[in-house]
Chain A
Amino acid sequence: MSLVFAALFVAGLGVLMVYSATQHRFEASPSFFMERQLLYVLLGLGAMAAAASIDYRIYRDHAHLVYGATVLLLVLVVSPLGSNRKGAQAWFQLGSFQLQPSEWAKVALIVCIAAYGAAHRGDLDGRRLIVLLGLAAVPMGLIELQPDLGTDLVFGAILLGTLLVAGARPRHMAALGLLAVLAVVAVFHFGLLKDYQRDRLTAFLDPKGDTQRSAYNLNQSKLAISHGGVTGQGLFKGTQTNLSYVPEQHTDFIFTVVGEELGLVGSGTLLALFAFLVWRIWRAAALAKDLTGTLICIGVLAMFVFQIFENVGMTMGIMPITGIPLPFMSYGGSATLAEFAAIGLVLNVHMRRFS
Chain B
Amino acid sequence: MTAPVRAGDNARLRMGVLGMVVLSLFAALYARLWFLQVVANPESTRAVIINQVRVVPEEAPRGRILDRQGRIVVDNRVSEAVTINRVKFKNDVDTVTRLAALLQLPPAVLVNRMNDQRFSPYKPVPVAEDVPESVVVYLAEHRDEFPGVEAQQLTERAYPNGNLAAHLLGYVGEINDKELKGRKGEGYRLGDEIGKAGVEKSYEEFLRGAPGLTKLEVDSRGKVLQTLDSQPPEQGKDVQLTMDLDVQRLTEESLAQGIEAARHATDKEAKKNFLAPAGAAVVIDPRDGSVLAMASFPTFTPGDFVNGIKPDVFAALNEPASHYPLNNRALSGQYAPGSTFKLITALAGLKDGLLQPTTTVDDHGSLKVGNRLFRNAGNRSYGRVNLPQAITVSSDVYFYQLGANFWYRRGQVGDGIQNTAREMGLGQPTGVALDAEARGRVPDPDTRKRLHDRSPKAFPEGKWFAGDNVNLAIGQGETVVTPMQLANAYATFANGGTLYTPRVAARVVEQDGRPVKDLGADVVRKVDLSAGRGAILAGLRGAVADPKGTAHGAFLGFNGFPVAGKTGTAQVSGKQDTALFVAMAPADDPQFVVAVVMEEAGFGGSSAAPVARRILEGLAGKPPGPVQLAGGVD
Contact = CB atoms under 8 A, between A and B. Distances in A.
B219 A244 contact: yes
Nearest to A281: B22
B38 to A, nearest CB: 6
B93 interface: no
Contacts of A28: none
A42 interface: no
A220 interface: yes
Contacts of A105: none
Nearest to A286: B15
Interface string A297-319: 01001000100110011001110
A226 B15 contact: no
B36 A222 contact: yes
Contacts of B18: 161, 164-165, 282, 298, 301
Given A167-B7, A316-B33, A309 B25 contact: yes
Given A244-B219, A285-B15, A226 B8 contact: no
A313 B31 CA distance: 11
Interface stretch (B44-52, B97-105, B533-541): B44-52
Of the listed residues B6, B22, B28, B217, the one surrounded by the most CB atoms of chain A closer than 10 A to its CB is: B22
Nearest to A318: B32
Nearest to B24: A309
Interface in A219-259: 220, 222-223, 225-230, 239-240, 242-245, 259
B4 interface: yes
A61 interface: no
B181 to A, nearest CB: 24
Interface stretch (A9-17, A180-188, A262-270): A262-270
A275 B37 contact: no
A68 B25 CA distance: 34
Nearest to A309: B25
B217 to A, nearest CB: 8
Contacts of B314: none
B315 interface: no
B17 interface: yes
Contacts of B622: none
B29 A244 contact: no
A298 B17 CA distance: 12
A203 interface: no
Contacts of B22: 278, 282, 301, 305
B458 interface: no
A355 to B, nearest CB: 20
A245 B7 contact: no
A291 B32 contact: no
B30 interface: yes
A147 interface: no
Nearest to A295: B7
A289 interface: no
Interface string B4-16: 1111100100110
A50 interface: no
- Secondary structure at the B interface, as helix, strand, loop or mixed, is helix
A123 interface: yes
A49 to B, nearest CB: 27
Contacts, number: 126
A263 B14 contact: no
Contacts of A122: 5-8, 11
Given A122-B6, A313-B28, A223 B48 contact: yes
Contact of B40 (A226, A308, A318): A226
A166 B36 CA distance: 38
B429 to A, nearest CB: 48
A271 interface: yes
A167 B38 contact: no
A169 interface: yes
B18 to A, nearest CB: 6
Interface in A323-343: none
B38 A271 contact: no
Given A239-B48, A285-B15, A313 B32 contact: yes
Contacts of A263: 37
B227 interface: no
Contacts of B44: 222-223, 226-227
A308 B7 CA distance: 27
B203 to A, nearest CB: 42
B41 A268 contact: no
Interface string B147-167: 000000000000000000000
Contacts of A242: 219
B6 A245 contact: no
Nearest to B48: A227
B15 A268 contact: no
A146 interface: no
Nearest to A229: B41
Nearest to B34: A264
B221 interface: yes
Contact of A220 (B8, B17, B28, B220): B220
A37 interface: no
Contacts of A222: 36, 44
21 contacts: A121-B6, A122-B5, A122-B7, A123-B5, A123-B6, A165-B15, A165-B18, A167-B11, A167-B14, A222-B44, A227-B44, A227-B48, A240-B48, A243-B52, A243-B217, A271-B30, A274-B26, A278-B22, A282-B19, A282-B22, A291-B7
Interface of B: 4-8, 11, 14-15, 17-19, 22, 25-26, 28-30, 32-34, 36-38, 40-41, 43-45, 47-48, 51-52, 217-221, 225
Given A229-B37, A267-B33, A318-B32, 12 more contacts: A166-B7, A227-B41, A227-B44, A230-B41, A240-B48, A259-B33, A271-B30, A275-B26, A282-B22, A286-B15, A294-B7, A318-B28
Closest 10 CB pairs of A and B: A122-B7, A226-B44, A243-B219, A245-B220, A123-B4, A226-B36, A264-B37, A229-B41, A167-B7, A309-B25
